[in-house]
């Protein structure tokens, strides 16, 4: 922590602020994970952390370390890229699995197996024409 | 010991490791080549062990120290060659040769990667005998255990898997205890090198003694599980009985690794020179050993099949050794080592023999019966009884019977073989240790334990032998190959040699015991071992 | 060229990643990074990723801007929903079926990234035969609006980039 | 002054993130269904990663960054395996 | 923090021990894993707990060993982690084989009372 | 040849002969007999040649070092007494061999027989010639062994097996007791040498350990010589071929016990304890043996009990504490050997010629084999103690001793003469029965064979022995006097009393007793005639005294009633108790080791409490407990919770300055999750059965386990806390930190330790990993999954059915759609992950990372592709050869280590060079890096092998599940 003492105040302030917001957002996300009622709703919540939560934290880290090491520190970008690519993988797989499990369990809260093609196309045409 | 000769110390570890690793680069079906490699490695190991034995003996009390990575002790890992480790190396390589030869008849085909696993087992055993570092000992224990897991399960089948599960679970628990013990010892003393540890122990502050002793005790439990002390030994008979014969024959030295470590560490760390901690836990060893003998005896009497009987004999042997090690006495240590040699050879031979003897009883080996390929591709060459068991050598039953008699005599400690000598030496030493012209209660107890366990062995072995060899029902003469009989003969011959050459052997063992009871030389030898970098030039970073 | 550098853009990205990882622009790192980029993309050929080319850098940038904006907006929105005294009040969550025009794997993949990265929407199912995508929306006020957003705001740009 | 705020902010952020982990772990506990637990585990990983990043900032050390990086790149593997197990009954077909 | 870590180790050990004493193979494997966490932490703790003293030197600078935490326990833990990973894998496969061959997931290969 | 050489030859020749005999062909009856006969004859001649040396009390000795450090030499010692026995063993040996040549049938595998017989002869000679007590025990047990093998010679017969086993068990047990006794005796004397022991008589008798020694040695002697209550094995030993009975079980082996008693008589006898124990056993054996003998229907059984009784006589004489009685004992040993051996041979001839030994079936054989009958009658008369035969002489000496003995108890002195007379009557009765039953009466009917005289050479030994009975009986002083004198001198030395070997001592009380015995015996036989003819089995009054049944019963009880339950009680075959014991014993050991010592030391050193980490640990603790709670029925939940605990561990590592550990822990965590999930596919679900009520036993066990778990957790926590709050001792680590860069060439000290300072550990560690991978692979090759899990998972069936049912879908569409987007992304991640692995590898020496972490990353890289695309798909494009990676890794690490040899350094010595390249700068080339490369390769291979081998099971299940699926096929 002694290293931080020599940094300009605005760096410290900005870093602290970003970190705080990021942590708060993440916490809110997990609170949502607790509070929301259905699985599908709950799945949305943690994405607060995986998107802006991480983004702000990385931003804070970049600013802080760039100032600390007096050179641009950008490798945090990699984390952002990795998260962007890997989060959809998990969520897509997991939510689809949940859908299957709900359908199999006979839940009426989820869309049934895909409706006949014709109705869908009709609906689509309507939207397109708007 | 200098120059190239110096590297000989590490060969017992490196050679099987290299050969095992090399075999992994070969295609699976090249069994003949692998077998030859394995055999080659084992034969070289024997010669190396003999050379090392002579080195250890020739150097008098000097010990050979190998600084790995050329880092000085106590910082780097050291291998230490002394009379004891040289002896154990020889024993393990001899058993390895016997087991390997035996396996060549059929067992090495019963599953993939037999030969590499076998070599890796040797790596673990030899490493454990050589290392002078507590954590490195753990690593070699694990190498040995890992390979033994593989060998226990070799051939598959319900019995093996069931026993293997227990074996693995218990040994994993023991390994965790090992780690806890090492950690505590390091946390208090700050070193892992055994010699350094022995050096630091007497100076351990009083307020740290509790922790140190707790660490040592927990570590000890880990070794006692391996050695098979009651009540930590129940896995042993089942596992050894379930393992294939060559594996079981090798395992008989694995419990001796536990004994070896206790002997080595206990005398080094808690020997007479250890100051306030001297003799820590000795009476526990003694009474625990006696109880183990008792349990082994009971088990031997109660066992109906020979494999379990053999397993219980392992316990009797372990218990006897533990009990006598609990009495710190040089002559006893020497006697214990003789007993160790004799009983290990005998039990190994017995494990090999059982397979052959029972082959005739349950016609059609059961190895593959359970693995019927209802599931999975048939990658293994099926073992056809006719072609595999080969020519029946003449007088098979007579030879098997004779071998059985030898084993029985050895295990019961009856003349004329080394079992008797071993018991005599042990008991004579125990009596002598209790002072002239008196016999202490402990000595009586030990005497009784040894005599009664021998009696039980007579009863149990006779029962088993009569049932197997004198059975009235027309049992088919087992088809046995020469290569299966030879190793048994080899081991038994060694027991005969031990009997005839008891004098010279005891001379060596007495030197060994003396060195063990005067660990200062070991400590100084390890801690003052010179680095190569100091003599040769160049090198280092 | 194609043979040696089957995925030039990906290789470039990997080189950049390597340099970022090592936080260095030393010649040795550039050389090593280039080598690794080449080798790793060579190996990737074996895995036969779907063919595709990404062009229109500016379009991509526009899309990126849109998405970032959406992410920030929806982060706030979702946080608001969660922090309500009763998150369920005045809100219905639900599934939306969307017929997609593009079958291009990269379009779909990118779309999945966007939908997932935007709090409030998740990718639920995609039926390749009909091209129907199901998403789940946390605060579903207007189904049509969501269809619009996905197809017009994102898909069309993605098609421009990848097709 | 600012240093004090900075320190306090980081400590607070860590506590918040630890609380976030606690929330996820509650979901991990109560489920009710397997997918809920998997989502919670995923969130758990992300929280841990953020915690490590704050730790890096707090100590001014770059040594812990790679752990966060590895979580970002590989943390999903476990979740994927779990999800696939739920959907298909086996992880690798 | 020593108290907290010691407490954590204790709970891991207690949970692990409880599990390895259970009759189902899966419980045992989870228990062994928890125990190995605990043991790894214990070994690690033998080097004492120090914040921000990772044993990574600065190239070329003079070394003051007291600036860094004890690296040896860390190296030991690394070895222990690898070994426990290996044995967990093995135990898993053995328990699967046992389940297949015996028809039960009881550690003794048969249901109690049969 | 020197005496020493001859002595060695005397003992060694039979053993050499035994080896040769074993190797001769099965049908070489004559060759075997010649070999054995010549060896016995040579032994006899050698023995004879020694007589002058020992006649006047001289002793021949030979010693060779054997185990000098334990005072154990190979020591031979021949005095008059040993000479007598040696002559007996070899002399009767010659005759028995000759007899056996005709007795054994051509079908019998004679090599075994003669081999054992010769080995026995050698062992017996070993006993009598031993100059050292341990060596004596050595040969003693050998005689038990060969006796066992000879009794079991016809091992297809149950009685032979049982008899052999009983004989061995009893005699070997006695032998073990003897060993213990001799050990203690040697211990108090300070030597096992017979000479020294015999010279320490006063010391021994006065020693507090005298009684234990005596009891132990007597146990040996009594079992061997079939003394009551250990006598019962001998009649069952009669299952042996008759030559064996004649030789071992009458003339020689059973005499070993009394030999020992006589041998140690000078040092052990003379006490009341000796009188009571030895005399008591002798007296009871004497009476019981002779009484029971009367009622035997088997000729050999009768002779066996008679032998028991005569052995009792000898023992009694030795127990009387009188030198004269001891001389009588020695004399009777000799006499009994002659008449009993001849009687056994005669019984054998009868058996051989008529096919039965049952007195009830035999009758009137005198007419068919008059010579044999005559011989048998003379020998039996000697047995009965009829004057002018040798048996009479020693019996008269016995009667004299019975009259003059001084017992510690007055009443006993009075009883002894009556007991002796009674014994005389009994022996007359059973001798009469032997002769009358077999040779007189009407001609035999219904015998298996028609009896006639045996071949002459078969009868010859009997003739010779009977002649000896006569000659000795008539002219004792001339014939046997010098030998007996020498033997008595050997035993008693200077204490040898004067005695008179005359046939006629005038009309005295002993003679009267003899007359009474003779008449009484005849009367008794006549009285019992009807009872005996009725053919009732067993002996009146002592029917319950069936030793065999008792013995077998006690063995059964010992093995199945005692050992079995004890084994179950003291041991277990179940895992849970075993693990419980390991934990409890470790706990107790730790507790005992801590003992009274304090755990606390000085003021504890704390690092401050951090709220965040405390919270994190609250979560970790909850996860651990949750995992423990859920593992039974909710495996997935337990797995996930365990992952949570692992992640908390990982954070702790980071917090306290261990980034390498955190990385490793994290990756292992990920791989373990995948691994266990792969395994869960094959573990059928546990359905929570609703237990109506937890059994009290179960509940108690759970409470116990809970307590154990709490104590274990508390104990470890306490220890951890105690160590962590202590100041760090001066550890060896300082060395590593200081030299990691300057000598190890790396800044990441942990990594330098792993690949350099303690690279040997790492080599071992990767070996473990490799070995485990091979084992897993081997096990999975033979894997047979649970039947419930063989079919493809339910999910896949449902989804396939759905695809099948819809006309617009093809089989597999669901999974294709499911993976469509993720697979694309995962494939694109592939190169990045590879690069990441290499990055972690290359930086390892200086920064957190290294071969192991990199290897795991690499393995995960591949596994991700397997998950995204399926096994077949990946393997048709990208085939990993994991076993080779393992092999290569090991070889690489090894070669790096061995490379140091070329520079004359020990294994694994590291070398670092900097390669200066233009433009690129200096590239470090550290050998440690190559070592780490080996680690990397092995870890990739091992991890991939384990995971892929598990994944492959799914392919196999598809292969098999399809054709096998209809369950009706099973019948
Ligand atoms: Na989203
Ligand atoms: Na008759």
Nearest 5 degrees, angle CA C37-CA C38-CA C40? Answer: 65
Element (H, E) at F64: strand F60-67
SS (H, E, C) F827-845: HHHHHHHHHHHHHHHHHCC
Q: Given an 8 Å threshold on Cβ–Cβ distance, is F768 in contact with E13?
A: no
Q: What is the pLDDT of residues C2-37, one digit of tens each?
A: 777 888 888 999 999 999 999 888 888 899 999 999
Q: Which of C21, C43, C109 sits opposite F824 (nearest CB)?
A: C109
Cβ atoms of B153 and F775 closer than 8 Å = yes
What are the two backbone dihedrals, phi and then psi, of residue B17, each rounded to the nearest 5 degrees?
-65, -45
Cα–Cα distance, B182 to B269 (Å, whole number) = 13
Q: Which of B240, B167, B313, B223 is nearest to F578 (CA)?
A: B167
Q: Compute the distance from residue C115 Cα to the ligand 1 centre, in Å.
A: 5
Let me know if B539 is exposed, middle or buried by CB neighbors in 10 A (0-12, 13-18, 19+). middle
Q: Which of F473, F466, F235 is nearest to F345 (CA)?
A: F466
**Is C127 touching F (CB cutoff 8 A)?**
yes
Cα dihedral F305, F307, F308, F310 sign:
positive
**Is F15 touching B (CB cutoff 8 A)?**
no
Let me know if B309 is exposed, middle or buried by CB neighbors in 10 A (0-12, 13-18, 19+). buried
Residue A128: asked if its preceding bond is cis (omega within 30°), the reply is: no
Q: Given an 8 Å threshold on Cβ–Cβ distance, is F825 in contact with A89?
A: yes
Q: Given an 8 Å threshold on Cβ–Cβ distance, is A89 in contact with F826?
A: yes
For range C77-98, the mean pLDDT: 86
**Is F744 touching B (CB cutoff 8 A)?**
yes
Shortest-distance ligand to the CA of residue F529: 2
Shortest-distance ligand to the CA of residue F358: 2
Would you say residue F692 has pLDDT above 90? no
The minimum CA-CA distance between D87 and chain F, rounded to whole Å, is: 7
**CA Rg, chain A, in Å?**
22
Let me know if E45 is exposed, middle or buried by CB neighbors in 10 A (0-12, 13-18, 19+). buried
Q: Compute the distance from residue F390 Cα to the ligand 2 centre, in Å.
A: 27
Q: Which of C28, C108, C113 sits opposite F921 (nearest CB)?
A: C28
Query: Residue B387 — very low, low, confident or very high, per pLDDT cuts 50/70/90?
Result: very low
Query: Residue F1 — very low, low, confident or very high, per pLDDT cuts 50/70/90?
Result: low
Element (H, E) at F77: strand F72-78
CA atoms within 13 A on the CB side of B330: 15
Cα–Cα distance, B388 to B105 (Å, whole number) = 7
User: C28: which chain F residues are within 8 Å (Cβ-Cβ)?
Assistant: 917, 920-921, 923
Q: Given an 8 Å threshold on Cβ–Cβ distance, is C17 in contact with A78?
A: yes
User: E52: which chain D residues are within 8 Å (Cβ-Cβ)?
Assistant: 59, 61
User: C105: which chain F residues are within 8 Å (Cβ-Cβ)?
Assistant: 820-821, 824
DSSP F709-753: HHHHHHHHHHHHHHHHTSPP---THHHHHHHTTTTT--SBHHHHI
For range F747-776, the mean pLDDT: 93
Q: What is the pLDDT of residues D14-39, one digit of tens each?
A: 999 999 999 999 999 898 999 999 99
User: F828: which chain A residues are within 8 Å (Cβ-Cβ)?
Assistant: 85
Query: Residue F503 — very low, low, confident or very high, per pLDDT cuts 50/70/90?
Result: confident
Q: What are E99's two structure tokens? A: 């389940």
Element (H, E) at B222: helix B206-227
For range D71-76, the mean pLDDT: 94
Taking CA atoms, what residue in E is nearest to B238?
A: E108
Let me know if F365 is exposed, middle or buried by CB neighbors in 10 A (0-12, 13-18, 19+). buried
- Confidence at residue F886, expressed as pLDDT on a 0 to 100 scale: 93
Q: What is the pLDDT of residues F420-445, one digit of tens each?
A: 999 999 999 999 999 988 888 888 88
Q: Which of F809, F824, F835 sits opposite C40 (nearest CB)?
A: F835
Q: Which of F123, F126, F138 is nearest to B414 (CA)?
A: F138
Q: Which of A40, A52, A87 sits opposite C93 (nearest CB)?
A: A40
Q: Given an 8 Å threshold on Cβ–Cβ distance, is D61 in contact with E51?
A: no
Q: What is the pLDDT of residues F709-720, one digit of tens each?
A: 999 999 999 999
Tell which E residues from 61 to 90 touch B, by Cβ distance under 8 Å: 72-73, 76, 79-80, 83, 86-87, 90
Cα–Cα distance, E14 to E16 (Å, whole number) = 5
Under 8 Å CB-to-CB from F265, ≥6 apart: which residues?
F318, F326, F491, F492
- CB count within 10 Å of CB D30 equals 11
Cα–Cα distance, C78 to F942 (Å, whole number) = 45
Q: Compute the distance from residue F402 Cα to the ligand 1 centre, in Å.
A: 115
Cα–Cα distance, F733 to B187 (Å, whole number) = 12
Q: What is the pLDDT of residues B321-357, one digit of tens each?
A: 999 888 878 888 999 999 999 999 999 999 999 988 8
Taking CA atoms, what residue in F is nearest to C22?
A: F839
Partners of chain A (3+ Cβ pairs below 8 A): C, D, F
For range A84-93, the mean pLDDT: 94
Tell which E residues from 36 to 55 touch B, by Cβ distance under 8 Å: 36, 39, 42-43, 45-46
- Confidence at residue F959, expressed as pLDDT on a 0 to 100 scale: 54
Q: What are A34's two structure tokens? A: 């607790």
Q: What are B535's two structure tokens? A: 């003599």
For range F767-780, the mean pLDDT: 92
Q: Given an 8 Å threshold on Cβ–Cβ distance, is F657 in contact with E10?
A: no
Using DSSP's 3-state secondary structure scheme, residue F279 falls into helix
Shortest-distance ligand to the CA of residue F532: 2
- Lowest mean pLDDT, pick from B121-125, B440-444, F407-411: F407-411
- Confidence at residue B484, expressed as pLDDT on a 0 to 100 scale: 86
What are the two backbone dihedrals, phi and then psi, of residue F907, each rounded to the nearest 5 degrees?
-50, 135
For range F371-397, the mean pLDDT: 89
The minimum CA-CA distance between A114 and chain D, rounded to whole Å, is: 17
Query: Residue F911 — very low, low, confident or very high, per pLDDT cuts 50/70/90?
Result: confident
The minimum CA-CA distance between C99 and chain A, rounded to whole Å, is: 6
Percent share of chain B, pLDDT over 90: 55
Q: What is the pLDDT of residues B16-64, one digit of tens each?
A: 999 999 998 887 778 889 999 999 999 999 999 999 999 888 766 678 8
Q: Which of A12, A39, A100 sits opposite D33 (nearest CB)?
A: A39
Cα dihedral F288, F294, F300, F303 sign:
positive
Do F and E count as touching (3 or more CB pairs closer than 8 A)?
yes
Do B and C count as touching (3 or more CB pairs closer than 8 A)?
no
Q: Which of F620, F737, F747 sits opposite E58 (nearest CB)?
A: F747
Which residue, among F822, F840, F857, F868, would best test binding to A if mutated, counting the most A CBs under 10 Å from its CB? Answer: F822
Q: Given an 8 Å threshold on Cβ–Cβ distance, is D49 in contact with A96?
A: no
Size of chain A in residues: 130
Q: Compute the distance from residue F305 Cα to the ligand 2 centre, in Å.
A: 18
Cα dihedral F869, F873, F874, F875 sign:
positive
Query: Residue F633 — very low, low, confident or very high, per pLDDT cuts 50/70/90?
Result: confident
- CB count within 10 Å of CB F694 equals 10
Would you say residue C132 has pLDDT above 50? yes
CA atoms within 13 A on the CB side of C137: 22
Shortest-distance ligand to the CA of residue C122: 1
User: A127: which chain C residues are within 8 Å (Cβ-Cβ)?
Assistant: 99, 144, 147-148, 151
Would you say residue F763 has pLDDT above 90? yes
Q: Where would I find the beta strands (DSSP E) of F829-966?
A: 912-917, 921-926
What ipTM, to 2 d.p.? 0.93
The minimum CA-CA distance between C1 and chain F, rounded to whole Å, is: 19
Q: Output the average pLDDT for chain B.
A: 86
Q: What is the pLDDT of residues B253-308, one digit of tens each?
A: 999 999 999 999 998 988 777 777 777 888 889 999 999 999 999 999 998 888 99
Beta bridge partners of F314: none
Q: Which of F831, F920, F923 sits opposite C44 (nearest CB)?
A: F831
Would you say residue F123 has pLDDT above 90? yes
Q: Output the average pLDDT for chain F.
A: 88
Q: Given an 8 Å threshold on Cβ–Cβ distance, is F824 in contact with C105?
A: yes
Element (H, E) at F959: helix F927-964
More confident residue, B154 or F658: F658
- Confidence at residue D20, expressed as pLDDT on a 0 to 100 scale: 96
Q: Which of B442, B437, B216 is nearest to B329 (CA)?
A: B442
The minimum CA-CA distance between E1 and chain B, rounded to whole Å, is: 17
Q: Given an 8 Å threshold on Cβ–Cβ distance, is B76 in contact with F785?
A: no
**Is B408 touching E (CB cutoff 8 A)?**
no
Which residue, among F584, F631, F851, F922, would best test binding to E if mutated, counting the most E CBs under 10 Å from its CB? Answer: F631
What pTM was computed for the model? 0.92
Cα–Cα distance, E44 to E57 (Å, whole number) = 19
Taking CA atoms, what residue in F is nearest to A82?
A: F829
Partners of chain E (3+ Cβ pairs below 8 A): B, D, F
What are the two backbone dihedrals, phi and then psi, of residue F172, each rounded to the nearest 5 degrees?
-70, -35
**Is D59 touching E (CB cutoff 8 A)?**
yes
Let me know if F506 is exposed, middle or buried by CB neighbors in 10 A (0-12, 13-18, 19+). exposed
For range B124-149, the mean pLDDT: 95
The minimum CA-CA distance between A17 and chain C, rounded to whole Å, is: 17
pLDDT tens series, chain E, 114 aa: 889 999 999 999 999 999 999 999 999 999 999 999 999 999 999 999 988 888 888 877 788 888 899 999 999 999 999 999 999 999 999 999 999 888 888 999 888 876
Percent share of chain F, pLDDT over 70: 97
- Lowest mean pLDDT, pick from B468-482, B486-500, F87-101, F426-440: B468-482
- Lowest mean pLDDT, pick from C75-79, F413-417, F757-761: F413-417
Would you say residue F964 has pLDDT above 60? no
Cα–Cα distance, B372 to B38 (Å, whole number) = 29
DSSP F531-580: HHHTT--S-TT-TT--HHHHHHHHHHIIIIIIIHHHHHHH--S-HHHHHH
């Amino acid at each position: 922590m002694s290293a931080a003492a020599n940094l300009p105040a605005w760096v410290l302030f900005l870093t602290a602020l970003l970190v705080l917001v990021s942590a708060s957002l993440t916490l809110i996300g997990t609170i949502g994970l607790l509070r929301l009622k259905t699985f599908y709703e709950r799945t949305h919540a943690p994405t607060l952390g995986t998107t802006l939560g991480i983004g702000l934290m990385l931003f804070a880290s970049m600013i802080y370390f760039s100032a600390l090491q007096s050179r641009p520190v950008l490798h945090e970008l990699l984390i952002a890229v990795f998260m962007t690519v890997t989060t959809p993988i998990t969520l897509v797989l997991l939510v689809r699995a949940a859908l299957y499990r709900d359908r199999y369990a006979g839940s009426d809260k989820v869309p049934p197996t895909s409706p006949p093609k014709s109705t869908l196309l009709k609906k689509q045409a309507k939207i397109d024409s708007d | 010991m200098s120059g190239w000769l110096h590297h000989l110390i590490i060969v017992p570890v490196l050679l099987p490791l290299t050969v095992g690793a090399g075999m992994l680069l070969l295609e699976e079906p090249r069994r003949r080549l692998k077998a030859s490699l394995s055999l080659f490695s084992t034969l070289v190991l024997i010669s190396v062990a003999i050379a090392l034995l002579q080195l250890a003996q020739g150097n008098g009390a000097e010990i050979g120290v190998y600084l790995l990575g050329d880092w000085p002790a106590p910082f780097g890992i050291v291998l230490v060659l002394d009379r004891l480790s040289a002896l154990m190396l020889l024993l393990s390589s001899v058993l390895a040769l016997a087991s390997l030869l035996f396996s060549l008849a059929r067992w090495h085909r019963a599953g993939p990667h037999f030969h590499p696993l076998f070599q890796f087992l040797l790596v673990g055993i030899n490493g454990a005998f050589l290392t002078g570092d507590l954590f490195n000992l753990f690593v070699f224990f694990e190498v040995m255990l890992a390979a033994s897991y593989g060998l226990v399960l070799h051939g598959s089948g319900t019995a093996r898997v069931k026993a293997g599960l227990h074996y693995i679970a218990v040994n994993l628990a023991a390994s965790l205890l090992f780690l806890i013990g090492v950690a505590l010892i390091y946390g208090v003393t700050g070193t892992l090198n055994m010699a350094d540890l022995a050096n630091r122990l007497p100076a351990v502050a009083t307020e740290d003694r509790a922790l140190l002793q707790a660490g040592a005790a927990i570590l000890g439990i880990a070794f006692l599980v391996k050695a098979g002390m009651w009540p930590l030994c129940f896995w042993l008979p089942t596992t050894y009985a379930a393992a294939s014969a060559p594996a079981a024959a090798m395992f008989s030295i694995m419990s001796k690794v536990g004994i070896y470590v206790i002997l080595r560490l206990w005398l080094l760390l808690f020997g007479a020179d250890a100051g306030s901690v001297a003799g820590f836990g000795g009476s526990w060893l003694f009474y625990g050993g006696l109880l183990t003998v008792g349990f082994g005896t009971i088990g031997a009497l109660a066992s109906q099949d020979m494999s379990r009987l053999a397993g219980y004999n392992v316990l009797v042997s372990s218990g006897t050794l533990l009990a006598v090690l609990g009495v710190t006495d040089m002559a006893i240590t020497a006697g214990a080592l003789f007993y160790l040699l004799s009983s290990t050879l005998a039990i190994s031979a017995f494990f090999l023999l059982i397979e052959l003897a029972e082959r005739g009883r349950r016609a059609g080996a059961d190895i593959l019966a359970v693995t019927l390929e209802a599931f999975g591709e048939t990658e293994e060459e099926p073992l056809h009884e006719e072609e595999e068991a080969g020519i029946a050598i003449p007088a098979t039953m007579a030879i098997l019977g004779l071998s059985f008699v030898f084993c029985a005599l050895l295990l019961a400690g009856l003349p004329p073989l080394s079992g008797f000598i071993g018991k005599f030496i042990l008991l004579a030493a125990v009596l002598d240790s209790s002072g002239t012209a008196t016999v202490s209660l402990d000595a009586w107890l030990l005497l009784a334990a040894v005599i009664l366990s021998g009696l039980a062995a007579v009863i149990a072995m006779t029962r088993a032998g009569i049932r197997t060899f004198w059975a009235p029902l027309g049992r088919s003469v087992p088809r046995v190959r020469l290569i299966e009989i030879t190793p048994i003969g080899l081991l038994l011959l060694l027991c005969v040699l031990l009997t005839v050459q008891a004098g010279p052997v005891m001379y060596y063992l007495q030197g060994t015991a003396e060195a063990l009871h005067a660990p200062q030389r070991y400590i100084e030898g390890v801690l003052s071992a010179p680095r190569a970098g100091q003599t040769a030039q160049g090198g280092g970073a | 060229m194609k043979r040696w550098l089957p995925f030039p853009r990906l290789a470039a990205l990997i080189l950049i990643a390597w340099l970022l990882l090592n936080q260095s622009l030393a010649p040795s790192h550039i050389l090593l990074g280039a080598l690794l980029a080449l080798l790793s993309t060579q190996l990737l050929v074996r895995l036969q990723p779907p063919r595709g080319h990404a062009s229109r850098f500016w379009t991509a940038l526009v899309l990126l801007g849109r998405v970032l904006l959406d992410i920030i907006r929806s982060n706030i929105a979702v946080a608001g929903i969660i922090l309500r005294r009763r998150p369920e009040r005045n809100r219905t969550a639900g599934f939306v079926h969307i017929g997609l025009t593009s079958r291009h794997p990269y379009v779909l993949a990118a779309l999945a990234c966007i939908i997932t990265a935007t709090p409030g929407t998740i990718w639920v199912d995609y039926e390749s035969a009909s091209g129907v995508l199901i998403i789940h929306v946390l605060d579903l006020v207007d189904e049509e609006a969501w269809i619009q957003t996905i197809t017009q705001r994102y898909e069309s740009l993605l098609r421009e980039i990848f097709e | 002054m600012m240093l004090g705020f900075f320190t306090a902010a980081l400590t607070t952020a860590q506590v918040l993130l630890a609380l976030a982990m606690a929330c996820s772990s509650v979901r991990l506990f109560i489920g009710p269904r397997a997918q809920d637990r998997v989502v919670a585990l995923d969130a758990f990983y992300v929280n841990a990663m953020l915690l490590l990043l704050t730790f890096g900032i707090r100590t001014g050390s770059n040594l812990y960054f790679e752990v966060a990086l590895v979580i970002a790149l590989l943390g999903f593997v476990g979740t994927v395996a779990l999800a696939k197990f739920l959907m298909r009954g086996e992880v690798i077909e | 923090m020593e108290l907290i870590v010691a407490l954590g180790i204790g709970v891991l050990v207690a949970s692990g021990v409880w599990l390895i004493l259970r009759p189902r193979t899966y419980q045992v494997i989870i228990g062994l894993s928890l125990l190995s966490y605990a043991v790894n932490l214990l070994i690690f703790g033998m080097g004492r707990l120090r914040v921000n003293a990772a044993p990574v030197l600065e190239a070329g600078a003079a070394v003051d060993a007291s600036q860094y935490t004890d690296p040896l326990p860390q190296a030991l833990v690394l070895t222990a982690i690898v070994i426990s990973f290996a044995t967990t894998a093995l135990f898993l496969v053995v328990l699967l084989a046992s389940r297949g061959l015996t028809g039960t997931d009881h550690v003794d290969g048969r249901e109690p009372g049969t | 040849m020197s005496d020493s050489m001859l002595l060695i030859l005397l003992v060694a020749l039979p053993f050499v002969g035994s080896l040769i005999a074993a190797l001769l062909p099965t049908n070489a009856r004559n060759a075997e007999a010649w070999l054995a006969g010549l060896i016995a004859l040579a032994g006899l001649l050698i023995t004879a040649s020694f007589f002058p040396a020992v006649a006047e009390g001289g002793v021949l000795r030979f010693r060779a070092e054997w185990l000098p450090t334990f005072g154990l030499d190979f020591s031979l010692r021949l005095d008059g007494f040993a000479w007598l026995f040696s002559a007996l063993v070899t002399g009767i040996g010659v005759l028995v061999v000759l007899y056996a040549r005709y007795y054994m049938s051509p079908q019998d595998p004679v090599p075994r027989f003669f081999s054992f017989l010769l080995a026995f002869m050698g062992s017996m000679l070993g006993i009598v010639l031993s100059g050292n007590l341990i060596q004596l025990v050595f040969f003693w047990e050998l005689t038990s062994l060969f006796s066992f093998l000879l009794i079991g010679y016809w091992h297809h017969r149950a009685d032979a097996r049982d008899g052999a086993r009983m004989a061995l068990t009893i005699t070997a047990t006695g032998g073990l007791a003897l060993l213990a006794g001799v050990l203690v005796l040697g211990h108090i004397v300070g030597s096992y040498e017979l000479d020294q022991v015999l010279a320490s008589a006063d010391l021994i008798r006065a020693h507090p350990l005298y009684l234990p020694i005596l009891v132990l040695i007597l146990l040996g002697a009594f079992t061997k010589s079939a003394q009551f209550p250990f006598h019962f094995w001998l009649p069952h030993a009669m299952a042996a071929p008759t030559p064996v009975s004649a030789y071992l079980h009458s003339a020689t082996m059973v005499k070993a016990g009394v030999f020992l008693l006589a041998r140690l008589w000078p040092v052990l006898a003379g006490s009341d304890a000796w009188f009571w124990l030895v005399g008591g056993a002798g007296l009871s054996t004497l009476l019981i043996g002779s009484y029971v003998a009367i009622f035997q229907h088997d000729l050999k059984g009768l002779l066996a009990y008679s032998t028991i009784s005569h052995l009792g006589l000898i023992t009694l004489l030795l127990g009387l504490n009188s030198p004269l009685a001891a001389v009588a004992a020695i004399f009777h040993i000799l006499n009994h050997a002659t008449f009993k051996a001849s009687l056994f041979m005669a019984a054998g001839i009868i058996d051989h010629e008529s096919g039965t030994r049952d007195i009830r079936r035999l009758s009137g054989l005198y007419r068919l084999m008059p010579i044999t009958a005559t011989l048998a009658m003379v020998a039996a008369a000697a047995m009965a103690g009829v004057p002018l035969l040798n048996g009479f002489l020693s019996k008269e000496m016995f009667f004299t001793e019975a009259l003059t003995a001084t017992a510690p108890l007055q009443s006993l002195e009075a009883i002894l003469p009556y007991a002796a007379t009674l014994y005389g009557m009994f022996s007359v009765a059973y001798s009469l029965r032997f002769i009358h039953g077999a040779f007189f009466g009407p001609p035999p009917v219904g015998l298996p064979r028609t009896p006639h005289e045996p071949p002459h050479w078969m009868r010859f030994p009997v003739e010779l022995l009977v002649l000896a009975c006569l000659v000795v009986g008539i002219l004792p002083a001339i014939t046997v006097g010098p030998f007996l004198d020498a033997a008595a001198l050997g035993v008693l030395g200077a204490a040898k009393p004067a005695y008179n070997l005359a046939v006629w001592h005038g009309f005295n009380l002993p003679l009267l007793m003899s007359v009474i015995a003779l008449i009484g015996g005849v009367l008794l036989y006549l009285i019992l005639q009807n009872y005996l003819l009725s053919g009732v089995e067993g002996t009146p009054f002592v029917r319950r005294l069936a030793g065999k049944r008792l013995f077998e019963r006690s063995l059964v009880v010992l093995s199945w009633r005692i050992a079995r339950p004890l084994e179950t009680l003291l041991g277990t075959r179940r895992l849970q108790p075993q693990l419980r014991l390991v934990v409890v014993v470790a706990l107790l050991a730790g507790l005992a080791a801590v003992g009274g010592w304090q755990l606390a030391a000085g003021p504890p050193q704390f690092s401050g409490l951090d709220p965040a980490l405390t919270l994190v640990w609250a979560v970790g603790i909850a996860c651990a407990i949750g995992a423990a709670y859920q593992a039974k029925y909710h495996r997935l939940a337990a797995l996930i919770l365990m992952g949570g605990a692992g992640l908390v561990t990982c954070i702790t590592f980071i917090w306290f300055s261990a980034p390498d550990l955190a990385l490793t822990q994290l990756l292992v965590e990920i791989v373990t999750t995948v691994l266990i999930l792969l395994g869960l596919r094959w573990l059928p679900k546990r359905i929570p059965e609703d237990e109506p009520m937890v059994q009290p036993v179960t509940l108690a066990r759970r409470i116990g386990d809970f307590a154990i778990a709490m104590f274990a957790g508390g104990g470890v926590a306490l220890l951890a806390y105690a160590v962590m709050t202590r100041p760090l001792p001066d550890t060896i680590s300082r060395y590593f930190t200081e030299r990691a860069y300057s000598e190890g060439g790396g800044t990441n000290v942990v990594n330098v330790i792993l690949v350099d300072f303690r690279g040997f550990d790492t080599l071992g560690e990767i070996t473990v990993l490799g070995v485990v991978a091979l084992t897993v692979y081997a096990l999975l090759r033979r894997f047979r999954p649970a039947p419930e899990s063989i079919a493809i998972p339910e999910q896949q069936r449902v989804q396939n059915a759905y695809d099948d049912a819809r006309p617009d879908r093809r089989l597999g569409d669901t999974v294709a759609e499911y993976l469509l987007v993720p697979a694309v992304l995962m494939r694109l991640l592939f190169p990045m992950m590879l690069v990441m692995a290499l990055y972690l590898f290359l930086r390892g020496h200086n920064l957190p990372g290294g071969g192991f972490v990199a290897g795991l990353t690499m393995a995960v890289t591949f596994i991700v592709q397997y998950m995204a695309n399926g096994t077949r798909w990946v393997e048709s494009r990208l085939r990993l050869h994991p076993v080779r990676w393992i092999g290569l890794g090991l070889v690489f690490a090894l070669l790096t280590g061995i490379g140091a040899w070329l520079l004359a350094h020990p294994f694994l010595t590291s070398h670092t060079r900097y390669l200066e390249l233009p433009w690129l700068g200096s590239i470090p080339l550290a050998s440690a890096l190559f070592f780490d490369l080996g680690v990397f390769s092995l870890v990739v291979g091992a991890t991939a092998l384990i995971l892929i081998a598990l994944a492959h099971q799914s392919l196999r299940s598809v292969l098999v599940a399809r054709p096998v699926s209809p369950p009706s096929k099973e019948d």
